[in-house]
Structure 1
């Protein structure tokens, strides 16, 4: 099943989306993430009547507003090498705010303090069960599904200090989507293990990697995080980016107003976002 988030009035909803773009409502986002497995099974047995959204402005991130968004840095050897960093002994985990998440088609503003933004195409995992102190095998059983993510970064602020938080949380810098593919549609929670991750800027391929190149597997990442902080349904784990980011190039290359960046992953689709100037910030 392919899931998406949309708004109806003041409520955020989760629905199943088909190839024609029709959405079958499942439940409000808050209701859905209280018991995803049961509601998915009900939706499969007795689907509601499909609806057609008027346009993309009705889309919302497919996770609750309370979601933790945790990202893993330096999780591909090629990326660690191009950044002149040693291969980490443990997952390098940092946080994003849910408020930075945006959907397919939404513009990303470049902060006035930055020469541009950097791209990081990634596979993201959506949690479907509460995970506390779990093994790697148990962690995989708690995966709801997978989606594309772009961990867009403000490098000047990121590298001002040893703390990455500000550089990883510019306004509207976390594209996610275009849909969440449930784990069963990928053949189970191990379906992530051989998926191409491609990033394009204005149609040019700037990153081309494969999830098989990850240093830490999805199970390892989730297990490691769960030993310190509880993962709950709707939390997002971005699993790292392959080689090819902009700041390591000579000269550095960044996303500037007028650019369009895309992240494509086998079996999920393409996440596409235009870049605008600082005047486009909220």
Structure 2
């Protein structure tokens, strides 16, 4: 099942994607957030399945605006050096323990929304990644039990500003610029696919830059959940981006950084496509305000 956040007729809603249509979930069926829905999914899913079978009302996908399925995850965690081919292209040693970092939740942006190249750097890079979404509160779970904590999977572009990434050993600054966490286009529930055998491709414009399969993950989804939950409680709606494969722009000769006018598209088998244009950050993007600027 594909679960989406979207707007239609100026109203934000949750829905179920079936082919080229979205079936809105009525508030009489469920009225909470996507994180709430994921937490209650086992109870609500039979009702949603019945809704798919009986729904009279649906919306064409091209008439809706898809939103990031989890707009403000409490935890947005990235994994570095998690494909052998990416480790090889960096010239580093294969890690014996996951390389983990935070992406600030303010970086999350929607499918087809702009990725802004910041005015303070032109070293803007893409990283196509499978991301898992937590559906249950969990702490100290084993690898064997970890699948029960995962509600589903989505696509993340772990956009990176390379010079700012290396300014800090934690990588967080270079991973957290506004608009540098595209996510979507929806969440595919965990019972619908095997996360460890999915083809992954990334294009910049019409050029294929990345191509691998999630079976090449060094630390798989369940191992990552077990590791992280040994430290902190994972909560419904937390997002873990599992790392990128080889083909990143920083390792190309000449460098293959994204520039204004480009479009980056990530496709993961069984999930779909996440595509975003690249624009230059507006010069006026500076403010102190009681409310965020739109």
TM-score normalized by the length of structure 1: 0.91
Matches within 5 A, 1:32-111: 32-46=37-51, 50-52=57-59, 58-63=65-70, 65-111=72-118
Aligned to 1:221: 224
3-state SS, counterpart of residue 146 of structure 1:
strand
Aligned length: 278
* Long gaps (5+) in structure 2: 286-292
- For the residues of structure 2 that align with 1:18 and 1:81, how far apart are their CA atoms? 39
Whether 1:276 aligns to 2:263 is: no
CA distances 1:163-219 after superposition (whole Å, capped 9, x unpaired): 311100011011111121111122xxxx01111110000111100111011101111
3-state SS, counterpart of residue 141 of structure 2:
coil
- For the residues of structure 1 that align with 2:6 and 2:245, how far apart are their CA atoms? 30
- For the residues of structure 1 that align with 2:84 and 2:143, how far apart are their CA atoms? 21
Matches within 5 A, 1:148-163: 148-163=155-170
3-state SS, counterpart of residue 22 of structure 1:
strand
Change (3 A) 1:87 1:22: same
State the 1:160 CA deviation: 2.0
CA distances 1:95-119 after superposition (whole Å, capped 9, x unpaired): 1122211121111110011114101
Matches within 5 A, 1:134-149: 134-149=141-156
Change (3 A) 1:16 1:82: same
- For the residues of structure 2 that align with 1:8 and 1:200, how far apart are their CA atoms? 29
- For the residues of structure 2 that align with 1:12 and 1:33, how far apart are their CA atoms? 17
Q: What is the RMSD computed on CA atoms of the aligned residues?
A: 2.2
Q: Would you say the 8 A contact 1:12–1:28 is kept in 2?
A: no
Q: Would you say the 8 A contact 2:67–2:184 is kept in 1?
A: no
State the 1:67 CA deviation: 3.0
Aligned to 2:199: 196
Change (3 A) 1:54 1:149: closer
TM-score normalized by the length of structure 2: 0.87
- For the residues of structure 2 that align with 1:154 and 1:115, how far apart are their CA atoms? 8
